[in-house]
Amino acid sequence: MSPPLKGLQLSNYRNFINKKEVFKFEHTLFKGKNAVGKTNILEAISFLCPGTGFRKDGIQNCIFQKQEKLKSSITFDFENEDLENHLTIELSNKDERWSKQYFLNDKKIQQQKLLDIFQLFWFTEMDKVYFIKDTQYQRNTINRIICYFEPKLFSLLNQYTKLRREKKRILQSSQDNSWLISIDKQLFDIGKSIIEIKIEFLKEFQNFLSHDSKKFFDFEIIPSFGLLEKENFLEKFQRGLSDESQWPNDYKLQSDHDPKKSIFEITNNQKNISQLSSAQSKMLILSLLLSCAKFLNRNRITIFLIDEIFDNFDMVNINKVIEYCAENKFQTFFSTTDNFTLKGNIDNLEIKELL
């Protein structure tokens, strides 16, 4: 079966001046020594998700040759709704400002448009570490996933973040309460919409899980206060917005009841992720990602990326991952530095060696 993402071309990206790859199989494994560019290719694919790729690195670090124009590009060929398409992401510096521009079939689009076509999930060893230790990373990951459920959430989160910054700026520079009242009303309305989308996602996702007999690894969901008691949470959120304006001396914004931070935790046998072994925590995170991908696999191209797969799994679990992805029609990309014989063990897999 021909995969939806058929190829990519990198120009002046990371360690590649010009690199072209064609994908003929559902599963692709990039194999090679350290520093040959395996992770760079996976990172380039991860730009199909709005944002800064799975490394969360600055655009300036993606440019290989520091030529005068400071420009790099990633071009994808893919099939969607039985039509051949190409998408180019240009990374550039203009007037000392770094930016990304997106061109679908040569027509400029907003990055939010990607949410209508692709959904990307990735897992690396660093993802495991951050997911366990960094609550903000957990929030960002889950918020990103819920954006696939309701793409409108992407713009709501961006608006919310901009308004929070604007409020802090006003508190530092002005005594104009009318501006603060207006911003607080906007924040409350947007925050309410964010919470309602998250509650609807959680309701439908939990219903899906209750009927899914093929979970990759068992897990339970523990919703936050905001997703359990909406009205009570919104009342406290509104009060917090008002309280922020009463103490302008330190200009510190309250965050005890923040819609952007309201998510859920995952556990296994009532143990939270920090109480599990390294292997169990990997399986728990991956199971959440795989279940979300299966739940959200609605007329989109679903792509899974696992960097250094042999660092995370043995052969049994590698086969299990790929079988799960194949069964649910996900296209997968892996990387490894290990020297091994895998061809023949897994169907529809191409091994590409980078030198």
Single out the residue of 220, 247, 244, 223 nearest to residue 233, CA to CA: 223
Residue 219 φ/ψ, nearest 5 degrees: -150, 155
| pLDDT tens digit sequence for 6-15 | 999 999 999 9
CB 317 within 8 A of CB 284: no
Encode burial over 76-91: b for 16+ CB neighbours within 10 A, e otherwise.
bbbebeeeeebbbbbb
Structure token digits, residue 331: 């296209």
Q: What is the pLDDT of residue 340?
A: 60
Q: What is the pLDDT of residue 255?
A: 67
Which of the 8 DSSP states describes residue 300?
S
Give me the sheet containing 97-104, strands edge to edge: 16-22, 5-13, 71-80, 83-94, 97-104, 107-109
0.75 exceeded by pTM: yes
Domains parsed from the chain with CATH numbers = 1-117+301-355 (3.40.50.300), 125-299 (1.20.1050.90)
| pLDDT tens digit sequence for 18-43 | 999 999 999 999 999 988 999 999 99
Q: Is 93 left (phi over 0), alpha (psi -120 to 50) or beta?
A: beta
Q: What is the pLDDT of residue 343?
A: 47
| pLDDT tens digit sequence for 147-168 | 999 999 999 999 999 999 998 8
Count of residues in the chain: 355
| pLDDT tens digit sequence for 302-326 | 999 999 877 767 778 888 888 898 8
Single out the residue of 243, 236, 240, 292 nearest to residue 264, CA to CA: 292
On average, the pLDDT of the chain sits at: 90
The packing angle between helices 152-173 and 135-149, to 10°, is 130
